[in-house]
A and B are shown apart, each in its own frame.
Chain A
Amino acid sequence: MSVQDTLLRAAAITKRYPGTTALDAVDFTLRRGSVHVLIGENGAGKSTLVRILAGVELPTSGHLEMDGHELRLASTRDADSHGIGIIYQELSLFPNLTVVENIFLGRELTRGRLLVDRSAQERLARELLQRLEQDIDIHAAVGTLPLGRQQIVEICRALARDVRVLLMDEPTSALSPGEIHVLFRVIRELKAAGVGIVYISHKLEELMEIGDEVTVLRDGRRVAAAELAAVDVNWIIENMTGRRWEPPPQQEVSGGAPALLRVAGLSVPGRVHDASFHVAAGEVVGIYGLMGAGRTELLEALAGVRPASAGEIRLDGQRLDRQPVWERIARGVALSPEDRQSAGLVPTFSLGENMTLASLARHSRRGCLSAAAERGSTLDLISKLHIKSTGPRQPITALSGGNQQKAVIAKCLLTSPRVLLMDEPSRGVDVGARSEIFEIARRLAAGGMAILFSSSDLHEVLTLADRVLVMAGGRITASFARRQFTEQALVAAASAKPGGLHDRT
């Protein structure tokens, strides 16, 4: 590559946190009009690197260059003025503000310097959403939107500004294939306009499709870099993990076990219509569907977080539908929610405190919390799930995104659930850890635990589930046993117009 092509360069960047070296002398070069993919296991330092490029944090040592000139970024305002935009891994939106307000927050379009030019903002916001082919009410409060749509708003926020460098930290973790497709179109347009893009994701197929170059980070060090065209998925995984990659062993389908969870005619007003299915002990069932299909609402209704208007939920024959959340947890139904920030984690707690929150009774002796018991089970799961941290006492907010996700799942596992509900469990989790989570879940399932998880990642569903339920428009439109499912069948069922199958919605 030629020097003139270089847009942004980071040289020997080191970032130390007390107890961790997040980045260790990392070099990184971004070319004009190209997509540079960053990949690495959870906690490898990807987010830290882009946060430094965006002026959110200062490196401990090392320096940045833009267009061949030294670049000093003391704040995100500096980065902004150099045309560097960022899409954060954890959404940085204000739930109480509307979509337009969020898109333009901090850089409102003004008339005469004082008045906010509302109509111009609204026009631009509509244009942006149109470009992303999204039909979102721009006056809706962001907090009322489902997570995927919030992510779209976050993306609009970055696009509202003319940028030369766009840093995208897992922008698609809550999007389904349709939206991702559109996003990729937009990325290609930006590329054509000469924008340099840094792209982080754990979805390997996605990276192969959109990326031009790849840099692999492992434990804060740059271990490899290449043109993507020259490498394959196995190369990436081997460099990420430092081990040869072996595909996870295909699980035996446990047939014939009795149904543990039975759901009949479950409805959530406007979201889920008349869902009936069952999950057998020891079975792993995936729910596949597009954004807005009602997967999250279904799982929330099962966990008791969202009231159902009709239907029956039975665990081992016992009615669950009238029980509050805590009672369902006590009976053995635990949910790992989709949005870990707003529903999964207590940000003021340490890693360990978060992990034991749902199983405090189990970690108490004679009415008092037992530090020893807490330590025992948290250390155990930290090592089993490879949660990269300095220990249970590390504040949860100091963990990388994927490791926070693992902490939420660990919390559910500590309740010893009989039915484990996981909404997009691998959001932000790296490939290796993804199969580990399911493996551990399966091992715990040896005692007869059933798993019901949702995913918008087709690949994940195909490799991990024994059986797949497909949802569309709030209805379960199909159910496939392992031997039956193919990509085409699933996609067809997911985009089925429910109106065709049923007379009314």
Chain B
Amino acid sequence: MTERDHALNAAPAARRIPVAELFFRLRALLALLVLVAVFSALSPAFLSSGNLVILIKHVAINAILAVGMTFVILTGGIDLSVGSVAGLAGIVAGGLISVGLPLPVFGVAVYFQVWLVVLIAVLAGTAVGALNGVLITRFSVAPFIATLGTMYVARGAALLISNGATFPNLFGRPDLGNTGFPWLGAGRILMVPVPIWLMVILGAAGAFVAARTPFGRRIYAIGGNERAAQLSGVRVNRVKLAAYMISGCCASVVGLVLASQLVAAHPATGETFELNAIAAVVLGGTSLMGGRGSVGGSIAGAFVIGVLADGLVLLGVSQFWQIVIKGVVIVVAVLLDQMQKRFSWRETSA
């Protein structure tokens, strides 16, 4: 093991056989193509435009989470709080729309316009991300533990705000001027649902930032070798803080979309979402050790998971099998990742 590891460190290939390399690099996309082929063969409804739009809309939820999660994982961290943050953001928005911001001193409640409500909810989610970042950088709490903590804190906060109940009927009231919230989940621009636009915009922005800006380069550097990054003048703490804030921000967007789709905010929304997001990121080829991967890959990973989930529902496969199949796909993806490493090692030494 030792020797082999050493060999790995000493000699990854400069270039591999292009076909093999492409195969491994694009494994998420290939898996996606296979899935699409299988499902469209088995179900005529699969490739209908209506179904595709709905499918992509479902994927968008996980994909947006995965975009933020990618930044965190690239630094070598993890964010378990995204599901709870989504729930919290939804509840904050739901509360502000249906009961407003109560000011007990004056005995009144203030209602905000919807764009302000959305902004406040996103800020709340980003603040939880910032809390993660501060715990991890200033207090050196391990990311797993810190975000596990905030996962509970955010969930508890959502329950406290709503007193455990759902905020239903978030249509707003014309006399309060806060109508229009459902547009976020159900609206369309140029025939395409808003959540899909959000995924495209956040995904493109995320991919651009990661690949083309100094900030993105620093994210990768921290994951690759934190100490070397620090010695090179990377402000490690700041960059990590930003990564967790991005993740919190993406999570709150997801929370808003979900609440808007249901026109109701439920404090338990988003449970176990973090696992789906992490799975998408890993499927997309990002290493949990940090330093390697891409936003585009994570979105492809989210598509694989989403297509699989919807396709199996479309075919009427039982829940139990759905869970098993999803697990198998994730394990296979990670196996491929390992194979890729070993493969490249053989290539150089054979």
Contact = CB atoms under 8 A, between A and B. Distances in A.
Question: Does a CB–CB distance below 8 Å link A and B in the complex?
Answer: yes
Interface of A: 17-20, 47, 51, 55-58, 75-77, 88, 90, 92, 94, 105-106, 303, 305, 324-326, 329-330, 335, 337, 342-349, 353, 357-358, 360-361, 363-364, 367-369, 390, 394-395, 397-398, 411, 415
A55 B6 CA distance: 12
Nearest to A394: B14
Contact of B349 (A57, A353, A390): A57
Most buried by A among B5, B14, B212, B349: B14
A88 B3 CA distance: 10
6 contacts: A17-B14, A92-B9, A357-B217, A360-B214, A390-B14, A395-B14
A57 B234 contact: no
A344 B225 CA distance: 9
B344 to A, nearest CB: 10
Nearest to A337: B231
Which 6 pairs across A and B sit closest by C-beta, in order of nearness? A76-B3, A346-B224, A348-B224, A360-B214, A329-B233, A358-B232
A76 B4 CA distance: 8
Contacts of B229: 346, 357
Interface string B216-227: 011011011101
Contacts of B220: 346, 348-349, 353
Given A346-B221, A357-B229, 10 more contacts: A56-B6, A57-B349, A92-B2, A325-B233, A326-B234, A343-B227, A348-B292, A369-B214, A397-B9, A398-B11
B190 interface: no
Given A325-B231, A343-B231, A347-B225, A18 B213 contact: no
B191 interface: no
Taking residues whose C-beta sits less than 8 angstroms from the other chain, chain B's interface range is: 35 or more
Contacts of A353: 217, 220-221
Most buried by A among B230, B232, B291: B232
Contacts of A363: 214
B350 interface: yes
Contact of A20 (B14, B225, B233, B235): B14
B201 interface: no
A337 B229 CA distance: 12
Contacts of B227: 342-343
A326 B233 contact: yes
B10 A346 contact: no
Interface in B288-344: 291-292
Nearest to B216: A369
A368 B213 contact: yes
Contacts, number: 135
A346 B225 contact: yes
Most buried by A among B13, B214, B348: B214
B1 interface: yes
B264 to A, nearest CB: 40
Interface in B1-27: 1-7, 9-16
Interface of B: 1-7, 9-16, 212-214, 217-218, 220-221, 223-225, 227-235, 291-292, 348-350
Contacts of B212: 368-369
Given A326-B235, A398-B11, A344 B2 contact: no
Nearest to A92: B6
Contacts of B10: 47, 51, 56, 88, 90, 397
A327 to B, nearest CB: 8
Contacts of A368: 212-213
B9 A17 contact: no
Given A345-B225, A364-B214, A357 B3 contact: no
B14 A348 contact: no
Nearest to A360: B214
B217 A398 contact: no
A415 B234 CA distance: 13
Given A56-B7, A77-B3, A369-B212, A358 B14 contact: no
A348 B233 CA distance: 18
Contacts of A326: 233-235
A357 B232 contact: yes
Contacts of B224: 346-349
Nearest to A75: B3
A75 B5 CA distance: 12
A369 B212 CA distance: 5
Given A303-B231, A360-B217, A411-B232, A57 B7 contact: yes
Given A345-B225, A346-B229, A357-B234, A397 B11 contact: yes
